[in-house]
Amino acid sequence: MIGDVKSYPKIIDRILEILREHETFCIVGHVRPDGDCIGSQLGLALALQNEGKTVTVWNHDAIPDKYKFLNPAGLFGKPRSGEKFDCVIATDCASFERLGRAGECVGDRKVFINIDHHESNTRYADVNWVSPREPSTGELIFKLLKAARWPITPAIADQLFTAVSTDTGSFQYSNTRPGTFHVGAELVTRGANLAKICDEVYQSYPLSRARLLKHVYSTFRLTAENRIAWFWLKQKDFARTGAQSDDTEGLIDHIRAIEPVVVACVFEELEPELTRLSLRSKSAQVNVSEICRQFGGGGHPAAAGARIPGTALAVQRKVIAAVKRALKAAK
């Protein structure tokens, strides 16, 4: 049961011991933060502040516009070198490298905690709570606060509901567990503003994103008997539509939803010879985290990514070939 503290893992006791004995905290997340990352950071930050702690929240990248409603108090700041903290906590970040500049600025600390749900997590901190069975880091933070018996205020409930909802595809992805619905229900009971969250996150896209979506539908391709769908986002596409990189979140779901498609791929040009890859799988037999690991990336079995050097055509060929091998092995 959600409220049964005895059922929580022992690592929670260790983390709570650290949180209670220290006073200054910095909470960091991964580059290009998503709803789970931001909601987990801010939910934990608010809870620590309510306990009288001094909390700083840093990310390499700014908050995407669609999640700015979560940060009315302006808790997020830019990473600054030379600051000292009793405790640094990384949330939703599978590797130290994915902290970006925030990782470079949190070296002066007494203890480092890593709270995450990615199976590819490298256990890079002093204390690591990594639980791939949970569909979101937000659910881990919820369990932490419950075990601590700290108040989950409406503001904290907003953060954690956003975290849980976005990383489960609004409770639609196969990673959603029965307990996840209990968590969502309890957060709404505790004051999460469901209507506002859904409006801000799912129903308030800028016109530039609609133009980018038009590009996706005009240019996506199918291969391997329509079981693989993919499209490119080049720098010229962002310039033409007026979109930002933040506007790409969720675009992959539009081709993933095509009935024959098993694996969806997005190639995003970061530099002339550097590509960001995103993969989504609809089959439990095709683990895209393993595919991305071949290219130095990782993630979840159903959702993963990597950054791959090389020409666009070379990257595309290598990735599609790897996906085809995975599909063949699954058969």
Burial letters for 235-254: b for 16+ Cβ neighbours within 10 Å, e otherwise? eebbeebebeebbbbbbbee
Q: Residue 8 has what pLDDT?
A: 65
- pLDDT reported for residue 172: 86
Question: pLDDT of 86-117, one tens digit each?
Answer: 999 999 999 999 999 999 999 999 999 999 99
Strands 263-271 and 274-281, by their bridges, are antiparallel
Give the Cβ contact number of residue 7 at 10 Å: 10
Which CATH superfamily includes the segment(s) 5-202? inorganic pyrophosphatase (n-terminal core) (3.90.1640.10)
Query: What does pTM read for this prediction?
Result: 0.89
164 close to 186: Cβ distance less than 8 angstroms: no
The CATH class of the 207-330 domain is alpha beta
Ranges of CATH 3.10.310.30 domains, the chain: 207-330
- DSSP character for 166? H
Using alpha carbons, select from 133, 166, 131, 126 the residue that is nearest to residue 43: 166
Task: Quote the pLDDT of residue 300.
Answer: 87
pLDDT of residue 246: 86
Residue 86, SS3 per DSSP = strand
Neighbours of 298 (CB within 10 A): 22
Both tokens assigned to 22: 């220290």
Question: What per-residue string of b and e applies to 74-89 under the rule 16 or more CB within 10 Å gives b?
Answer: ebbeebeeebebbbbb
Q: What is the pLDDT of residue 280?
A: 96
**Predicted local confidence at residue 173, as pLDDT:** 81
CATH 3.90.1640.10 domain residues, the chain: 5-202
Sheet with 228-233, strands from edge to edge, namely 221-223, 228-233, 263-271, 274-281, 303-309, 298-299
The whole-angstrom separation of Cα 302 and Cα 99 is: 22
- Identity of the amino acid at 278: S
Low-confidence ranges of the chain (pLDDT < 70): 1-8
Query: Are 89 and 106 a contacting pair, CB within 8 Å?
Result: no
For 186-239, what is each residue's pLDDT tens digit?
999 999 999 999 999 999 999 999 999 999 999 999 999 999 999 999 999 999
Classify 142 as helix, strand or coil: helix
